[in-house]
Amino acid sequence: MSDLVAILLAWALVIGGLGAYGLWTITRGKALAKLVPEDRQRWMTTETTNTETGKGESA
């Protein structure tokens, strides 16, 4: 195996691993967010309220 192939393979593994970890983190976070009760979702509530849904909306 030439040096160039080894270097490219290493870069591909690192970038692929980081991409897979990022994808796993996002999907895990979305799954966990669905488990939070609605009254505990503080990041989604503000003082303004959407008249259609009754839920707070970000400013």
pLDDT digits (tens, 9 = 90+) for 21-47: 999 999 999 999 899 888 888 775 555
pLDDT at 48 over 90: no
Average the pLDDT over 44-56 and give the result. Answer: 57
pLDDT at 9 over 90: yes
DSSP 11: H
Helix (H), strand (E) at residue 9: helix 3-35
Give me the percent of the chain exceeding a pLDDT of 70.
71
**Which pLDDT score is estimated for 52?**
59
Owner of token pair 């996002």: 26
DSSP 23: H
